[in-house]
Amino acid sequence: MNPATVVHGRLRAGVRREPLLPVLVILLLALAASFQEFATVANFRNIAVQASPLIIAAVGMTYVIMTAGIDLSVGSMLFLAAAIESSQAIVGLPTALVFAAVCAAGALMGLLNGVAVAFTQVPALIVTLATMQVFRGAGGHITGQQNINLPANLLGIGTGSLLGVPTPVLLAVAVALAGGFVFSRTTFGRYVQAVGSSPDAAANAGLPVRSVLVGAYALAGLLAAVASLTQTARLGAVQPSIGQGYELTVITAVVLGGTTLFGGRGSIGGTVLGALVLTTVQTGLVFSGASPYIFDIVRGSVLLAAVLAAGARWRNLAHAVRLTGRRRPSRDGPYNSATSA
Amino acid sequence: MFEHLHHDGEPTARQPAVIAVGNVSKSFGGISAVDGVSFTVSGGEVVALVGENGAGKSTIKNIIGGTLRPDSGHVSFGGAPAVEGVGSAKHSGVATVHQETSLFPDLTVAENILIDRLRSPGRATVRAGHLRRAATPVLQRVGAGFGPEAIVRDLSAGQRQLVEIAKALAADPHAIVFDEPTASLNLVERELIMGIVEQLRADGVAVLYISHYLEEIARLSQRVVVLRDGRVVADRPTGEVDRARLESLMVGRELAQGYPPLAPPRDAKALSVLDLGDGGRVSGVSFDIAEGEIFGLAGLMGSGRTEVARAIFGLAGDIGRVEVSGRQLRRGSVRACIDAEMAFVTEDRRHEGLFLDRPIRESLSIVDLDSVCRSRRIGWLDGGSEHRLTHELASKVHLVARGGLGADGGSLSGGNQQKVAIGKWLVKRPRLIILDEPTRGIDVGAKAEIYRLLVDLARSGTSILLISSEMEEVLGLSHRVGVMHDGRLAGILDRSQATQESVIRLATGGAP
């Protein structure tokens, strides 16, 4: 085989694994062709910085959605973490301590979600719908719905850079790499995928199903707090609107990246690409001078299109493989327990 | 249209076949599922369609039912070519009774039966009284012991199957396709269903009967059509082919007859169960299993066999004592059981046995991921040792995975899924394996392989608790047979005492 064929083959395999990659490339090329100022280092840098908190929060969300769960409280966790950062008791501490406290608070919020989901019969949608309101309310109470400026020592995480690479981008890359490693190369990651694929089969194999669930939600909380640190540092202040509606963007990024809401299938790489595509679209809309509400329309449409496309792929697969177009087996016990044909 | 049929079921020569499948081919993604299949079913005739998993039975069923369109060939009903779509078969009076019941669990029996004609004739509304009156005679026809207003979720598997049949009969069909109607039923329910099929035949209905149970086929059918690899390899009067011939036609080679010989068990006790209960219907169950012994657990469906297995394995209740090799087991914990080198192959393999939408490899390695870790402390997996381990397990159980171990579990046939559900426990040689319905819904070839695997495991010292609705299998493989009746262990029979009759007597509450 000549090298060109090898490259071609690898490229095809890569595209099949991450169908969003060509989408992102085409998007970037089209925008670069349409707007002169788009293809500049400064703009790419801006996209990367903007995407960073989204990537960080979405990596956490990927774990949750992989367990067939959902976390609607991510935007509120972001806000409450920011509120705690800006509170009188915390803000004056040494920088490292502030960051540690905020991260611990995030992990604790996630833990609360996880325990409620794992140890009760209440669906994750309801649990996190409730905590979403609780966390936002608590944040509002702490900040008094005021803009609170942060001291300079807390801003470096959002505005600094290392060897020319902005700190948030470095953080996002680190989170994505570590998240990807844990996801696909450790027992915890494997357990998350197993629990999402079939909680019953996971229990049968003796997996600690509840701890896995708690771990996934706690991780999502922790990463929401990290995202919050970079976000507030870039803004220089904690504003009451932080994280409002953010859960929609985060979930869209994850689903766009190919993780299914039924759990059991997904990847961190896809999530990162999903976040980049969303941010690129958003930036492109700014360039085109469109109204900011257009982004909501686009985001919603993209979500629907992604799920539709994934659904079509699934059905074809099921047809080809099982020779019948069967629904996904239900989770409510032995009712559909008949054997395969 | 059936009046001029003789009562012995012989169709008159000029009558067109009620179902005619002509030279039908269908492939999926380049893989041929059925290839040039032709056969007919006439009124008053039961034709059995048999074949291994993947032979193309389901494809044929779906083509007749209108859910799949053939690539070439044609299907006709009563001489008229079938039109595309699910409605066509229904409209032509051809009904299908599916193996996986397609009922709405939260609706009543009557609503399920009449789901496509819920409105009272000439009215715009659904009236409960009309539904009840319309459903009652159909339910009587299938001998249902429950009323039209029962909620389907509350019914047993057997009762649901009756509802499914009643639903098919409600349309007063000329032909019915049965797909494994008895797969999850107990002996009594099975008998009931076979009676219904015989009655339908006597009424002049054409029946296509798909089943793995060769005894049922021998009893019910007049003709048997054997599919192998998507082609018809035999279409003969049932009386002309005996069981062994039928099996070899299905598999394409001669099968080893009967069950592999058992080695005598050892003296040491592997498992002692004392006064076990699940907190529900099962209580006071006590028995021992020796090392290398196969202990069969028989009983009617709903007698508590599965509950006993689940209670031992920490999945249901924690009443009573369980000792493994003399050491008392912490109850209610699957982890404790696995640490005591126990394994549980569930009856519900699709939900509990493996991960359908994950690579096969992951289902095999999941029980003991620690053994393939680079670093156990952080749980860093080593892809290389996972590959080695899973290949070794796959070859232990003779897994046939065409797409390799990276393909999804759902792509495997039922028999191979079962091998995965067993193979995942063989990381270390288990001290005790509990198997619940290990051969349900799998073909004769895979069955023989699983029998051999079990006997070999027992020979190497593993104890086996075998639960099965197939009486023959329990009798053929077990050193001793425990029989459950109504949540209690009604008796334990030695291999020499255990016969169909003695087991059924205990299972139905008779004296030993």
Inter-chain touch A204–B344, beta carbons under 8 Å: yes
Which pLDDT value is given to residue A129?
96
Which contacts (CB < 8 Å, 24+ apart) does range A251-254 have?
A: A251/A61, A251/A65, A251/A70, A251/A303, A252/A278, A252/A299, A252/A302, A252/A303, A252/A306, A253/A54, A253/A55, A253/A58, A253/A61, A253/A277, A253/A278, A254/A58, A254/A61, A254/A62, A254/A65
Question: What's the pLDDT band for A310 if we cut at 50, 70, 90?
Answer: low
- Please state, in angstroms and rounded to a whole number, the distance separating the CA atoms of residues B267 and B109: 53
Task: Please judge whether A194 and B362 are an interchain contact, meaning their C-beta atoms are less than 8 angstroms apart.
Answer: yes
The pLDDT tens digits for B321-349 are 999 988 888 888 888 999 899 999 988 88
Which residues are registered as beta bridge partners of B344?
Answer: B434
Segment holding A156, helix H or strand E = helix A156-159
pLDDT at B492: 94
Q: Which residues of B touch A340 (CB under 8 A)?
A: 53, 350, 413-414, 417, 441
At residue A81, the pLDDT reads: 96
- Cβ pair B418, B438 in contact under 8 A: yes
Is B418 in CB contact (< 8 Å) with chain A? Answer: no
**pLDDT at position A330, please?**
34
A52 touches chain B (CB under 8 A): no
pLDDT tops 50 at residue B7:
no
Please tell me the predicted confidence (pLDDT) of residue A321.
39
Pick the residue from chain A with its C-alpha nearest to B352: A201
- The whole-chain average pLDDT of chain B stands at 86
Residue B172 C-alpha, separation from nearest chain A C-alpha, in angstroms = 26
% of residues, chain B, pLDDT over 70: 94
**Sequence letter at residue A163:** L
Note the pLDDT of residue A101.
96
Distance CA A289, CA B30 (A): 49
Q: What angle do CA B188, B194, B199 make, to 5 degrees?
A: 130
ipTM of the complex: 0.77
Residue A1: pLDDT band by 50, 70, 90 thresholds? Answer: low
Subunit contact B352:A194, Cβ cutoff 8 A: no
Q: What's the gap in Å between the CA of B385 and the closest CA on chain A?
A: 12
> Residue A334 above 60 pLDDT?
no
Q: How confident is the model at residue B5 (pLDDT cuts 50, 70, 90)?
A: very low
pLDDT at B3 exceeding the cut of 80: no
Between residues B150 and B279, which one has the greater pLDDT?
B150
Is the CB of B362 less than 8 angstroms away from the CB of A201? Answer: no
User: What residues have CB less than 8 Å from B460, skipping those under 6 apart?
Assistant: B292, B429
The interface residues of chain B toward chain A in range 189-248, judged by CB-CB distance below 8 A, are: none
Span B125-180, pLDDT tens digits: 777 888 888 899 999 988 888 889 999 888 887 788 889 899 888 888 999 999 88
User: A30-74 pLDDT, tens per residue?
Assistant: 999 999 888 898 999 999 999 999 999 999 999 999 999 999 999
User: Does A336 have pLDDT greater than 70?
Assistant: no
pLDDT-based confidence at residue B254 (cuts at 50, 70, 90): low
Cβ-Cβ contacts under 8 Å, B335 against chain A:
206, 208
pLDDT at site A318: 45
Whether the CB of A66 is below 8 Å from some CB of chain B: the reply is no
* Residue A261: C-alpha distances to residues A17, A251, A307, A333, B206 (Å): 18, 9, 9, 20, 44
Partner-chain residue, chosen from B350, B367, B413, that has the shortest CB–CB distance to A329: B350
Report CA-CA distances (Å) from B492 to B266, B287, B431, B481, B485.
18, 9, 22, 6, 12
pLDDT band at A322 (very low <50, low <70, confident <90, very high): very low
What is the gyration radius of the CA atoms in chain A, in angstroms? 21
pLDDT digits (tens, 9 = 90+) for B453-486: 999 999 999 999 999 888 888 999 999 999 998 8
Q: Enumerate the β-bridge partners of residue B465.
A: B295, B434
A9 in B contact zone (CB under 8 Å): no
Which B-chain residues 14-73 have CB contacts (< 8 A) with chain A? Answer: 28-29, 31, 33, 53-54, 57-59, 62, 67
- Which pLDDT value is given to residue B256? 60
In angstroms, the CA B353 to CA B412 distance is 13
Q: Tell me, what's the pLDDT at A339? A: 30
Pairing outcome for strands B19-28 and B31-41:
antiparallel
Q: Of A274, A301, A280, A253, nearest to A30 (Cα)?
A: A280
Mean of the pLDDT values across residues A293-316?
76
Say if residue B93's pLDDT is above 80.
yes
From A30's Cα to the closest Cα of chain B, the distance in A is 35
Residue scoring higher pLDDT (B350 or A143): A143
Which residue from A188, A206, A336 is facing B338, i.e. has the nearest CB? A206
Is residue A313 scored above 60 in pLDDT? no
Lowest mean pLDDT among B145-154, B255-264, B287-296, B494-503: B255-264
> Which B residues in the span 394-413 are in contact with A, Cβ-Cβ below 8 Å?
408, 410-411, 413
B128 Cβ under 8 Å from any chain A Cβ: no
Of residues B123 and A263, more confidence is placed in A263
User: Number of Cβ pairs closer than 8 Å across A and B?
Assistant: 132
Spell out which residues of chain A touch residue B373, defining contact as CB-CB under 8 Å.
Answer: 187
